[in-house]
Amino acid sequence: MKILIKNAKIITPYEILKDYAVSIIDNKIEDLRKEDDFDEKNFDKIIDANGNYLSPGFIDIHNHGNFGYDTMNATFEALESMSYFHLKNGVTGFLPTTMTASLKEIKMAIKNVADYIELQNNKNKFKEQKSQVLGLYLEGPYFSQEKKGAHAPRFLKSPEINELKEFLDVSNQTVKIVALAPELPGALEAITYLKSNGIIVSAGHTNATFLEMKTGIDKGITLATHLYNGMRCFSHREPAVVGAVLNDERVFCEVICDGIHLHAAAIELAVKVKGKDKIVLISDAMMATGLEDGEYEIGGQKVYVKRGVARLSDGSLAGSTLTLNKAVYNMVNTVNIPLQDAVRMASLNPAKVIGISDKKGSIEIGKDADLIIFDENIRILTTIVMGNIVSYK
């Protein structure tokens, strides 16, 4: 099928183009050029964006669940529901994210994602009109007790190579990111092992000193899990985790821009230090996302959601109810980030983190046709996944 998208403000990683159009053949972006250069008679379908924005689809690399489901449910039904919900919010690809739990529960969640991806890759058995599962994010159990956040303390432990090998074997090479605390016994060996297996290592829920964090980066850490949250904070005498990851150009930093986890000034500072290329917007969403306030759970612990804020009974934040299109809106309207940069942080940058920027994350010829059309309020009007169109008008 040949599709033309016209009358759009097209967001590239560097600018917003007007009077241009994008053509798609099957599941790839075929061309991007002046609108007048296309002959509409050559297309099977014309999409008129009506002056709205055309953007690459968002990629949420860190999210636990939504609409009543969680990655730890370890069922196809959960992943299926999460995928459909993501599509409504402009997310064309995501990494289901685990929580600290028993090793048996973690393995079940990993295997479920691996099995789902295998089915997804079988085009005869998988409906294309939903967000793609791009791999798995293993968050926990290798975290510090001091910075555990909403992770169940009884299951926290130090990394073990044999255990990690079991996780990777079960995953059928679908684990993309492993978050851990680099100061724990065995962590440096684990970082080396994971890196050698092509896994991105993230520093998360860590009480590391500046030196411990720098050592972890030197060993292979290239990502910081939800910057500022769940990590030892900056001091002028002990820059700690925050100082290390902000100062090191090798490290991408996840940011939860929901107006709750971080002050706008803290995000603005991070963008100024890291630049637009190293900030990755995430939702860190949990199962209450898209639903009303009430009682839910995450990692086997009760979560109380009030006015959209998710907390444990002790008051600790327990993920978010954020969607990625809202995160982009907040970056533009509360942090004063240019729209094309905010979109980059939700598309190209996460694609770079997980090593798929050659195929996804930006509107460029030859890349996958994962696209979204949204209005000035980042309200999603149309989502296209691998050339398959879903409209929300």
Q: Is 294 marked within a binding site?
A: no
Q: Is 105 marked within a binding site?
A: no
What single DSSP character describes residue 303?
E
CA 81/CA 94 separation, integer angstroms: 13
Question: In what side-by-side order are the strands of the sheet with 309-311?
Answer: 294-298, 301-306, 309-311
Q: Is 139 marked within a binding site?
A: yes
Q: Is 261 marked within a binding site?
A: yes
* Torsion, CA 358, CA 90, CA 387, CA 109, rounded to 10: 70
Q: Which of 284, 341, 368, 370 is catalytic?
A: 284
Structure tokens that stand for 290 in this block: 């898209």
Q: Is 226 marked within a binding site?
A: yes
Q: Is 229 marked within a binding site?
A: yes
Q: Is 379 marked within a binding site?
A: no
Using the structure block, give the residue that is written with the tokens 């990692």. Answer: 299
Q: Is 311 marked within a binding site?
A: no
- Residue 211: how many CB atoms within 10 A of its CB? 13
Q: Is 317 marked within a binding site?
A: yes
Q: Is the peptide bond before 182 cis (omega within 30 degrees of 0)?
A: no
Structure tokens that stand for 116 in this block: 């789902």
Q: Is 318 marked within a binding site?
A: yes
CA distances from 37 to 4, 21, 33, 42, 363 (A): 12, 9, 7, 12, 18
End-to-end, the C-alpha distance of the chain in Å comes to 22
Residue 284 is a catalytic residue: yes
Q: Is 186 marked within a binding site?
A: no
Q: Chain centroid to CA 120: how far?
A: 19
Annotated binding site for substrate: 150, 229-230, 237, 261, 317-319
Annotated binding site: 139, 150, 205, 226, 229-230, 237, 261, 317-319
- Give the catalytic positions in this structure: 284
